[in-house]
Amino acid sequence: MSLLLGIDYGGTQSKLLLARDGTAVRQAQLPTHRGPGALRRLAEQVDGFLDGERPAALGVTIAGILDEATGRVVTSVNLPWLDGTDPVGDLTGLLGIAGVAIQDGHAAATAEVKLGAARAHRDIDDIFVLTLGTGIAGAHIVDGVLRRGAHNAAGEIGHMGIGEGRRCGCGQRGCLESEIGGDQLVARWQEAGGGVAAGGTAKDLVAAAAAGDERAVALLDRATTALGRSLLGVIALLDPGLIVVGGGLAQAHEWIFEPAVRKTVDGATFHRLPPIVPAALGVWAGAWGATIAAGSALSVSERPDAGTDDQQPSAIHGL
Amino acid sequence: MSLLLGIDYGGTQSKLLLARDGTAVRQAQLPTHRGPGALRRLAEQVDGFLDGERPAALGVTIAGILDEATGRVVTSVNLPWLDGTDPVGDLTGLLGIAGVAIQDGHAAATAEVKLGAARAHRDIDDIFVLTLGTGIAGAHIVDGVLRRGAHNAAGEIGHMGIGEGRRCGCGQRGCLESEIGGDQLVARWQEAGGGVAAGGTAKDLVAAAAAGDERAVALLDRATTALGRSLLGVIALLDPGLIVVGGGLAQAHEWIFEPAVRKTVDGATFHRLPPIVPAALGVWAGAWGATIAAGSALSVSERPDAGTDDQQPSAIHGL
């Protein structure tokens, strides 16, 4: 099997994963450089991480709407410097490794279905995967196929309006992401006078709640109420057979995952509640999904009918 | 081609349609009898309507969650006397015509895709159909196949929470249906002191708005704001290639359809907006969908591999 590089390019942290045959060879988590020059800095981080290894292909997650045919980013709310760019083309140029871009929620969902939480539910063929990070990503996988939508823009559960709420980064009001997106939680806690140090993350907020900070407890209570409401909306509209909740914030089991599930169950009326399970790959789901995308693109590019199978990611963006 | 009977069993009005080969032979709209004995009264209405004609099969729409394998109603918010019953079994027993039940939103959506608005968009294979009536039903049709969900309960866009709002018939708060469902609109108008006569419907409310009643105008403004918000949520989550809006209320083009579309377009930020078109079959979409279901069930029951094709409605419930 080929050596594959997965890059989960997050709004706060990026994860690098070198894998062969579904087994991690090496992995690292590094702060994301933001703004102009960010991709060049990322390429430098990757170069140091590889330390001379030569993966056959790379996959990179994009938090936003991606034109997977061209690899161009249409819009990224949390990484706006990517708008209109071709990050894989740039990384390929900088690193000399051909690759493929994949929307971040799609990557995490694919990994959880193929390698993670959903493996224990192989009989269920209708799965919704929610990833809680700086942004909120969703993915619906039916009969093993990711529902990409008509413009490859499906899954934006974070930008469904669920209440009045504040202005979201996307320009709307009352989005789920404005209630439970990592950056939004930190911003709210700072506004409420909570002591987040520079560079603090939502993890610090969870730690403060665990230490008894009532403002932090109240903020997380509000966030999980919003998440429960969104989950009920997804259940009403899609009726999935399984929901997997992952991402960095979901790892705060007692403060995020458990209350959100409890509120979903308590709030259900006519709903057919599916099992709601935590992701198994933790914060590494996106990076695993990126390696799966890299491997699929590699096998597509090596097949005579390359690119004609719409169940595969788009063909690899070559050197 | 066989003579087929479609029954659109609505919360306020029921529509009966006798069709052959996609052409209406006879149609009628009658008030729905509610409560215990309702199905016996419906069978009497159908018997009078048929006037001696003998359709080969009947289809009946159910506004609620339906176990399509057995024909039993799991839950109906607006026709609660159907909960746990087998309405097709009952109608077959009363009328001597074998039949099939189909969820109302699924019926209307199938009809709009096969016979109605979506026929002009044959290149689009990802369509969301919204039906505005006493209740609000949705259906997502991808590659010609209705997405039924894991428990045949998908499409309940009317019971996605979009704001704080009032208690909905489903037991939740702030559902779309509590803002724009026909019964809810009438109840609100009565509470606001609007003059709805006994048996009045949302059509009277629209007429009052057209006549300049400011309370009616304000209620419809609020309702279309809610609808625009829900449509943006559907676009964010599903990214459909086409949205079709039908049902009785959508026929109030100037007061419901146009403002809702305008608010959807005005409220869009990152969204990839699909065309949003009015349904072509009007209030008859459900009845047409019921005849299509009857015809499909009939052809399934006549095939040697009857019941094995999951793209068809469930096998017919025989005599």
Q: Cα distance from A299 to chain B (closest Cα, Å)?
A: 26
- Mean predicted confidence (pLDDT) in B208-219: 93
Residue of A nearest to B124 (CA): A150
Phi, psi for A107 (deg, rounded to 5): -65, -50
- Examine the pLDDT at B184 and tell me if it is beyond 60: yes
pLDDT, residue B310, reads 42
Cα A94 from Cα A109, distance rounded (Å): 28
Cα A103 from Cα B251, distance rounded (Å): 39
Closest Cβ–Cβ partner in A75, A138, A229 for B237: A138
pLDDT, residue A248, reads 85
pLDDT, residue B312, reads 42
pLDDT, residue A305, reads 52
The mean predicted confidence, pLDDT, of chain A is 89
pLDDT, residue B313, reads 44
Q: Which of A124, A159, A225, A237 to mutate to test the interface with B (most CBs of B within 10 A)?
A: A237
Closest Cβ–Cβ partner in B152, B159, B237 for A154: B237
- Mean predicted confidence (pLDDT) in A166-185: 91
On chain A, the residues whose CB falls within 8 A of the CB of B106 are none
What is the CATH number that goes with domain B3-107+283-301? 3.30.420.40
- The yes-or-no answer to whether A3-107+283-301 and A121-280 have a common fold is yes
On chain B, the residues whose CB falls within 8 A of the CB of A157 are 236-237
Higher per-residue confidence, B260 vs B35: B260
Residue of B nearest to A141 (CA): B149
Q: How confident is the model at residue A313 (pLDDT cuts 50, 70, 90)?
A: very low
Closest Cβ–Cβ partner in B142, B242, B270 for A75: B270
Closest Cβ–Cβ partner in B154, B161, B238 for A229: B161
Closest Cβ–Cβ partner in B154, B157, B239 for A149: B239
pLDDT, residue B207, reads 92
- Mean predicted confidence (pLDDT) in B165-175: 89
Do the Cβ atoms of B147 and A238 come within 8 Å? yes
- Examine the pLDDT at A218 and tell me if it is beyond 50: yes
Q: What percentage of chain A has pLDDT greater than the value 90?
A: 62
pLDDT, residue B73, reads 93
pLDDT, residue B306, reads 43
pLDDT tens digits for A132-172? 988 898 999 998 888 989 998 899 999 998 888 888 989 99
On chain B, the residues whose CB falls within 8 A of the CB of A238 are 147, 149, 154, 237
Do the Cβ atoms of B238 and A170 come within 8 Å? no
pLDDT tens digits for B229-285? 999 999 999 999 999 999 888 889 999 999 999 999 999 999 999 999 999 998 899
pLDDT, residue B309, reads 42
CATH class of A121-280: alpha beta
Hey, is A176 helix, strand or coil?
Answer: coil
Q: Tokens representing A87?
A: 């990050």
- Examine the pLDDT at A308 and tell me if it is beyond 80: no
Q: What percentage of chain B has pLDDT greater than the value 90?
A: 62
Do the Cβ atoms of A160 and B270 come within 8 Å? no
pLDDT, residue A207, reads 92
Location of structure tokens 């305008």? B262
Cα B288 from Cα B111, distance rounded (Å): 6
Cα B178 from Cα B172, distance rounded (Å): 9
Q: Which of B123, B175, B237 to mutate to test the interface with A (most CBs of A within 10 A)?
A: B237
pLDDT tens digits for A8-20? 998 889 999 999 9
Hey, is B250 helix, strand or coil?
Answer: helix
> Domain B122-280 in CATH: superfamily?
ATPase, nucleotide binding domain (3.30.420.40)
pLDDT tens digits for A40-64? 999 999 999 999 999 999 999 998 8
Q: How confident is the model at residue A258 (pLDDT cuts 50, 70, 90)?
A: very high
CA of residue B144 relative to chain centroid, distance: 18
Closest Cβ–Cβ partner in A151, A229, A241 for B272: A151
- Examine the pLDDT at B177 and tell me if it is beyond 80: yes
Cα A22 from Cα A296, distance rounded (Å): 13
On chain B, the residues whose CB falls within 8 A of the CB of A236 are 156-157, 159-160
Residue boundaries of the structural domains of chain B: 3-107+283-301, 122-280
pTM for the whole structure: 0.83
pLDDT tens digits for B70-88? 889 998 888 899 999 999 9
- Mean predicted confidence (pLDDT) in B135-142: 91
List the single range of A70-74, A190-194, B213-217, B245-249 with lowest mean pLDDT. Answer: A190-194
Q: Report which of A201, A186, A204 is spatially closest to residue A12, judged by C-alpha positions.
A: A201
pLDDT, residue B128, reads 96
Q: How confident is the model at residue A309 (pLDDT cuts 50, 70, 90)?
A: very low
pLDDT, residue A310, reads 42
- Mean predicted confidence (pLDDT) in B18-22: 93
On chain B, the residues whose CB falls within 8 A of the CB of A174 are 163
List the single range of A220-224, A274-278, A311-315, B279-283 with lowest mean pLDDT. Answer: A311-315
Q: How confident is the model at residue B105 (pLDDT cuts 50, 70, 90)?
A: confident
Higher per-residue confidence, B268 vs B299: B268
CB A194 within 8 A of CB A215: yes
- Mean predicted confidence (pLDDT) in A230-251: 94
- Examine the pLDDT at B307 and tell me if it is beyond 50: no
- Examine the pLDDT at B305 and tell me if it is beyond 60: no
pLDDT tens digits for A106-126? 898 999 999 999 888 888 999
pLDDT, residue A161, reads 87
- Examine the pLDDT at B95 and tell me if it is beyond 80: yes
Cα B12 from Cα B262, distance rounded (Å): 29
Q: How confident is the model at residue A196 (pLDDT cuts 50, 70, 90)?
A: low
Residue B29: CB partners within 8 Å, gap ≥ 6?
B13, B14, B15, B16, B283
Strand arrangement, sheet containing A3-9: A23-31, A13-20, A3-9, A57-62, A99-103
pLDDT, residue B195, reads 66
Q: Cα distance from A170 to chain B (closest Cα, Å)?
A: 6
Q: Enter the DSSP assignment of B273.
A: P
Do the Cβ atoms of B154 and A238 come within 8 Å? yes
Residues of A with CB under 8 A from a CB of B: 65, 75, 77, 124, 126, 138, 142, 147-157, 159-164, 170-172, 174, 229, 232-234, 236-242, 267, 269-272, 274
Q: How confident is the model at residue B316 (pLDDT cuts 50, 70, 90)?
A: low
Cα A191 from Cα B234, distance rounded (Å): 32
A90: left (phi over 0), alpha (psi -120 to 50) or beta: alpha
